Structure 1
Amino acid sequence: MATQTAAPTLIGSVQRALRLLEAVASHADGAPAKQLARETNLPLPTTYHLLRTLTHEGYLLREKGVFRLGEAAARLARDGAVQNRRIKIEDLLARWRDEIGVPVYFALYRDGEIELVSVADTPDSPAVEEWAGFRETGHAHAIGQCLLSQLDLKSRQDHLDRHPVEAITPHTVRNQRILLDRLGGLGRMEPLVERQEYALGTVCAAIPLTVGDTAATLAISLPLHQEERLLPAVERLQKEIGKLFSSFALSISI
Structure 2
Amino acid sequence: MTGEPPSDLIRSVSRALRVLEVVARADRPLPVKVIARRCGLNLSTTYHLVRTLCYEGYLHRLPDGDHLLGSKVAERFHEMLDTFQRPPRASAVLRHLAEASGHTAYLAQLAEGRLIVVDVAEGPRSPWLEDLQAGLETAPHATALGKALLLSLPSPVRRGVLTEYGLRRFTPSTPASVEDLEEELSRLRPGQVVEEHGQFREEVACAGAIVPGTQWAIGFSTRGLAIPAAATARLEAAIRDLTRT
Give the TM bin, normalised by the shorter chain: 0.5 to 0.7
1:163 counterpart residue number: 165
Whole-angstrom CA distance in 1 between matches of 2:163 and 2:85: 35
- Equivalent residue in structure 2 for 1:174, among 173, 176, 183: 176
Q: Give the C-alpha shift of residue 161 in structure 1.
A: 1.7
CA separation of 1:201 and 1:82: change in aligned 2, threshold 3 A: same
Aligned partner letter, 2:146: G
TM-score, normalised to structure 2, is 0.58
Whole-angstrom CA distance in 1 between matches of 2:104 and 2:208: 12
1:58 counterpart residue number: none
Whole-angstrom CA distance in 1 between matches of 2:211 and 2:91: 17
Q: Retained in 1: the 8 A contact 2:211–2:242?
A: no
Segment of structure 1 superposing worse, 96-105 or 183-192: 183-192
Segment of structure 1 superposing worse, 146-155 or 121-130: 121-130
Whole-angstrom CA distance in 2 between matches of 1:181 and 1:228: 22
1:116 counterpart residue number: 117
Report the 3-state secondary structure (helix = DSSP H, G, I; strand = E; otherwise coil) of the residue aligned with 2:171: coil
Whole-angstrom CA distance in 1 between matches of 2:150 and 2:93: 24
Aligned partner letter, 1:174: A
Whole-angstrom CA distance in 2 between matches of 1:83 and 1:149: 21
1:73 counterpart residue number: none
Aligned partner letter, 2:170: I
Let me know the Cα RMSD of the aligned residues. Answer: 3.2
Whole-angstrom CA distance in 2 between matches of 1:154 and 1:245: 27
Question: Is 1:233 the counterpart of 2:231 in the alignment?
Answer: yes
CA separation of 1:240 and 1:110: change in aligned 2, threshold 3 A: same
Q: Give the C-alpha shift of residue 124 in structure 1.
A: 6.1
1:195 counterpart residue number: 197
Q: Give the C-alpha shift of residue 146 in structure 1.
A: 1.4
- Equivalent residue in structure 2 for 1:141, among 143, 154, 158: 143
Kindly provide the CA deviation profile for residues 101-154 of structure 1, in whole angstroms up to 9, marking residues without a partner as x: 1111011123332211101004664442218xx645221111111111111122
CA separation of 1:136 and 1:220: change in aligned 2, threshold 3 A: closer
Q: Retained in 2: the 8 A contact 1:103–1:121?
A: yes
Q: Retained in 2: the 8 A contact 1:127–1:221?
A: no
Question: Is 1:185 the counterpart of 2:183 in the alignment?
Answer: no
1:21 counterpart residue number: none
Whole-angstrom CA distance in 2 between matches of 1:244 and 1:88: 7
Report the 3-state secondary structure (helix = DSSP H, G, I; strand = E; otherwise coil) of the residue aligned with 2:236: helix
**What does 1:65-76 align with in structure 2 at a 5 Å threshold?**
none
CA separation of 1:232 and 1:181: change in aligned 2, threshold 3 A: same
Question: Is 1:220 the counterpart of 2:220 in the alignment?
Answer: yes
Report the 3-state secondary structure (helix = DSSP H, G, I; strand = E; otherwise coil) of the residue aligned with 1:138: coil
Kindly provide the CA deviation profile for residues 157-210 of structure 1, in whole angstroms up to 9, marking residues without a partner as x: 211121122322111112211101111221232211101111112010111223
Report the 3-state secondary structure (helix = DSSP H, G, I; strand = E; otherwise coil) of the residue aligned with 1:139: coil
Q: Retained in 2: the 8 A contact 1:150–1:210?
A: no
Report the 3-state secondary structure (helix = DSSP H, G, I; strand = E; otherwise coil) of the residue aligned with 2:172: coil
Aligned partner letter, 2:178: Q
1:52 counterpart residue number: none
**Structure with greater Cα Rg:** 1
Report the 3-state secondary structure (helix = DSSP H, G, I; strand = E; otherwise coil) of the residue aligned with 1:210: coil
Whole-angstrom CA distance in 2 between matches of 1:129 and 1:184: 30
CA separation of 1:220 and 1:242: change in aligned 2, threshold 3 A: same
Q: Retained in 2: the 8 A contact 1:147–1:216?
A: yes
Which 5+ residue runs of structure 1 have no aligned equivalent? 1-77, 248-254
Identical counterparts, % of pairs = 23
Whole-angstrom CA distance in 1 between matches of 2:220 and 2:131: 14
